[in-house]
Amino acid sequence: MRIVVTGGSGDLGGRVVRELMSRGHAAVPASRRSGVDLSTGDGLDAVLDGADAVIHAATSQSKPQSVEVAGARRIGDSLRRLGSTAHVVSISIVGSDRVPYAYYRAKVDAEQALEQAGVPATVVRATQFHSLAAFFGTAGRVGPVTFSIGHMRIQPVDIDWVAQRLADHATGPAPSAFRWATDLAGPTAYTADDLAERLAKHDGRTTPRILRIPPVLPVMRGFAEGGILPGPEAEIGGRTFEDWLGDQPTPMPRRFHSPT
Ligand SMILES: NC(=O)c1ccc[n+]([C@@H]2O[C@H](COP(=O)([O-])OP(=O)(O)OC[C@H]3O[C@@H](n4cnc5c(N)ncnc54)[C@H](OP(=O)(O)O)[C@@H]3O)[C@@H](O)[C@H]2O)c1
């Protein structure tokens, strides 16, 4: 199959491209560095022409409305213009409809844009990747102290497994219209204390003390009250946070994306 991967140069998209290629498919990365700009539509018709499926994994933390939302709309418009019935598989975030955070709002808007696009489409929501959980656990550390929003918990997931499940959806039977896939989550939920302890052990440091910030703002309450945790119906899979961490460099870099 010829499968276009928006954001194919990114952390998730790059893994999706490699996964599809390892299964013998023609995976075509589509992002600005390959001449496709979702915020303008430049290059989109050309790359989507002849596609059997599209995996929409492009994102912009600073401009999610133009990349994820307008991008989803533009993908739908382009496929209709081309007379294509390619199946669009789009990645979203568990709890994006429960936490009033601007980036999450854009994820919900992108889901709706796809639902209204009138093309065969599947939205897959996943929890935070292990790298983001590690980032939460390291970025807030100041000397012997780290922070938590109240008693917030997070149930992070293995990005490689998410890439595999997106590839499964794109290469499997396509729906005739819009559908929701089962949410994806990792095996275990962690508090900030759990993450701090595991990260400190990985780095050979003393476990920092947790300073709890009272969840005074609605967005903080959304996180603190379990808004990003998966429901009981979620599909659980992939490596645990501990297994993933075991493959990471020591000390764990304070960065958003997984180094491996
Ligand atoms: N991180 C998490 O914990 C997590 C959890 C669940 C779901 N997700 C979702 O997973 C997806 C991928 O996240 P990620 O962390 O892998 O992203 P990422 O590494 O930041 O990659 C973003 C990609 O988007 C492309 N892009 C940015 N602006 C673009 C534009 N104007 N036109 C076309 N492409 C553009 C970038 O390529 P160029 O720079 O070449 O344009 C890059 O390939 C996102 O939808 C995110 O919401 C993430």
Domain parsing of the chain, residue ranges? 2-245
Mean pLDDT, the chain, rounded, equals 96
Ligand 1: residue whose CA is nearest its atom 18:
10
**pLDDT at res. 87:** 98
Q: What is the DSSP letter of 231?
A: -
The angle formed by the CA atoms of residues 27, 29 and 30, to the nearest 5 degrees, is: 135
In the structure, what pLDDT confidence band is assigned to residue 260 with cuts at 50, 70 and 90?
low
Residue percentage of the chain with pLDDT more than 90: 93
Which residues contact ligand 1 via a Cβ below 6 A? 6-7, 9-13, 31-33, 36-39, 57-60, 67, 91, 93, 107, 126, 128-129, 132, 257
> Please, what's the b/e burial string for 207-231 (b: 16 or more CB within 10 A of its CB; e: otherwise)?
ebebeeeebeeeebbbbbbbbbbbe
Evaluate if residue 259 carries a pLDDT over 70: no
Report residue 122 CA to chain centroid gap.
Answer: 14
The angle formed by the CA atoms of residues 83, 13 and 67, to the nearest 5 degrees, is: 65
Evaluate if residue 90 carries a pLDDT over 90: yes
Atom of ligand 1 minimally distant from the CA of 56: 45
Evaluate if residue 213 carries a pLDDT over 90: yes
In the structure, what pLDDT confidence band is assigned to residue 252 with cuts at 50, 70 and 90?
confident
Evaluate if residue 65 carries a pLDDT over 70: yes
Residue percentage of the chain with pLDDT more than 70: 99
Ligand 1: residue whose CA is nearest its atom 33:
31
Residues 131-149: pLDDT tens digits? 999 998 888 888 889 999 9
Residues 38-48: pLDDT tens digits? 999 999 999 99
In the structure, what pLDDT confidence band is assigned to residue 258 with cuts at 50, 70 and 90?
low
Residues 159-169: pLDDT tens digits? 999 999 999 99
Residues 148-191: pLDDT tens digits? 999 999 999 999 999 999 999 999 999 999 999 999 999 999 99
- Per the document, the length of the chain is 260
**What's the 207 CA to ligand 1 centre distance in angstroms?**
32
**What's the 158 CA to ligand 1 centre distance in angstroms?**
16
- Beta-carbon count within 10 A of 1 CB: 15
Please give the class, per CATH, of domain 2-245. alpha beta
- Over residues 23-46, mean pLDDT: 98
What Cα–Cα distance (Å) separates residue 200 from each residue in 32, 126, 136, 144, 195?
A: 38, 26, 13, 11, 8
